[in-house]
Structure 1
Amino acid sequence: MKVDDITLMAYVDGELDIEERREIERELDDSPDLAERIELFRASSLPYHDAFAQQKLPPVPESLTRKIAELSRTHASATSPVPPGPAAEPAANDAIAPPDIGLPPSAPVRSLMRFSAPWLAAAFAAGVFSCVVGLRLLPGLTGLPGGTATVASASPASPWVMAAAGYQALYSRDTVAVATDAAVSAKTVADIHQIDGLPVRVPDLSAQGLTFKRIQRLRFHDKPLVQIVYLPETGGPVALCVVKDAKPDQSLAQQKIDDMDVVTWRQSELSYALIGTAGQVDLGQLGKLIAKRDVDAMFSLAPLPVRPVES
């Protein structure tokens, strides 16, 4: 069965009936790709309205308000008046009247066209203003003066990366303020190699000012996910997360997920995500060192195969 995106969005939004939902869920059991698509739709289902409602945006400039009113008056004066008739409501034929959802179905089409033009002009002007405000509030997304262009991933983050970043956002320095047990960590690395089948290399980042704190065996969609946590001299913890991924190698890409900086790459059938609080550690440079193996390894059991990755 081929399930299109519209059906999947309806499934995520809870708009399908019981039988349709069951059919989708039967497909999920046999299709990892379908499960990944659903996770992407769930990740994009965010309370955008509430987020914008809390933003402290600047007031609409008086000049813009005057311009909109001027556009409305100009259009009203340029439109030929329509002789009143018994079947026409004055409000429906007023050139500057807002749309009335209570208009009868028989209302003349030209009436709708007459009052829609100034409102379209107003909407256009408001859109231009919103665009300008957005660019000024988010300078990091553009190369315009006042902001610095940043390197970003060409595609949205994978569901597992978003989940790992959300988990990492809960961490504080106190979360990992515990003594490190080298024997326990070495046993965990051995289990990752032998049970999970992931040839993960634990980088020693002490020369870069990051202290190894712990390594964990997690799971995402019932697949192994390794989390290696480090603590810099200041700021929040940094995590290197790894999953199995048979896709072709991919060079380093940098992006931002909420308040977390993320650097991802794929190498030797493993996908990596280096995650930390925004602006605290140069994750791009750190990721290059890890990918090129320019740092020593901890808890090594045996030499692991590797292919060079483009930086």
Structure 2
Amino acid sequence: MSSTIRMPSDEELTAFLDGELSPEETARIESLANADDEVAARIEFLAAGSMPFREAFAPLLDEAPKAKLEAILAAIAAAQQKRGPAFASRRGFLGALAASLAIGVIADRAYLGIGRNLGRDEGSEWRSVVAEYIALYTLDTLAGPVPPADVQAAQLARVDSKLGLNLSPEAVALPGVDFKRAQLLEYDDQPLAQIAYLDPESGPMALCIVRSEKGAKEPDIEGRKGMNVIYWSTATHAFMLIGHAPVDRMREIADAVRPKLTA
């Protein structure tokens, strides 16, 4: 992804797939997909979904009124035609996507009301809450000197007491970014660690951690509240790095800190 392009959030992309965006927003997403491979790939992933919805609901589809299903498919085809040839021209991506969705995923969603949860990972809610919070940060929020190592260690020890991680100032140090504070918040009655930083190039940044039993997941990327988010999980915890830095820089920082958090 070009560092000048912000990855749309999964909510935006699923709304795009569901035809729930305004014409202006729809055109914006189409333009991003035409311009960037990662945006196009994310749309394709969300369109396919990560669970076998079609198989799970096949008995209901078999019983569905044929006329109603045909009307749904006709509406989908008409909507795709209105979007014009430019979006469909991207290596045939939208042409193939429209065809596959018309016979499968979108029909299932339209008729069964699965809607915007399709393709969304189960942990997206806490990342959304964190993004709302971090979006309020300014340079003044994190102004002041970098705390000394012993203060950092004391703050991280309080985090450790709730999350069971072996955190240290060295483990959470981010390359080229100043540590500002570590604090405990709460999400859904569970402790949430927030380690705040100030990047001299892009402003506020945060590494946030919650307990999770949903299994290990390799890093993925999304956009929230005008910021880029890199998120991943281990067998016991979920992590997210959020900030205004370009995607490539966020990836580099995440790649540097991940081994220290999972060792």
Question: TM-score under structure 2 normalisation?
Answer: 0.54
CA RMSD of superposed structures (Å):
3.1
Q: How many angstroms apart in 1 are the aligned matches of 2:178 and 2:248?
A: 13
Q: What secondary structure sits across from 1:234 in the alignment?
A: coil
- Where does the alignment leave 5 or more consecutive residues of structure 2 unmatched? 1-10, 15-20, 47-118
Q: Quote the offset at 1:137 in angstroms.
A: 2.1
- Map 1:1-311 to 2 at 5 A: 130=23, 134=25, 136-139=27-30, 141-142=32-33, 144=34, 146-150=35-39, 152=42, 155-156=120-121, 158-182=124-148, 183-194=150-161, 196-201=162-167, 202-205=171-174, 208-277=175-244, 279=246, 282-293=249-260, 306=262
- Where does the alignment leave 5 or more consecutive residues of structure 1 unmatched? 1-40, 45-50, 53-129, 294-303
Q: How many angstroms apart in 2 are the aligned matches of 1:268 and 1:169?
A: 29
Q: Quote the offset at 1:268 in angstroms.
A: 4.0
Q: What secondary structure sits across from 2:209 in the alignment?
A: strand
Bigger helix fraction: 2
Q: How many angstroms apart in 2 are the aligned matches of 1:278 and 1:136?
A: 25
Contact 2:180 2:198 in 1 (8 A): yes
Q: Quote the offset at 1:184 in angstroms.
A: 3.2
Cα gap change, 1:247/1:137 in structure 2, threshold over 3 Å: closer, same or farther? closer
Cα gap change, 1:261/1:140 in structure 2, threshold over 3 Å: closer, same or farther? farther
The one-letter amino acid paired with 1:166 is E
Q: Quote the offset at 1:276 in angstroms.
A: 0.6
Identity %: 26
The one-letter amino acid paired with 1:175 is T
Q: Quote the offset at 1:168 in angstroms.
A: 0.6
Q: How many angstroms apart in 1 are the aligned matches of 2:160 and 2:25?
A: 47
Q: Quote the offset at 1:186 in angstroms.
A: 1.8
Question: TM-score under structure 1 normalisation?
Answer: 0.46
Q: What secondary structure sits across from 1:230 in the alignment?
A: strand
Contact 2:211 2:238 in 1 (8 A): yes
Contact 1:169 1:277 in 2 (8 A): no
Contact 1:259 1:278 in 2 (8 A): no
Q: Quote the offset at 1:147 in angstroms.
A: 4.3
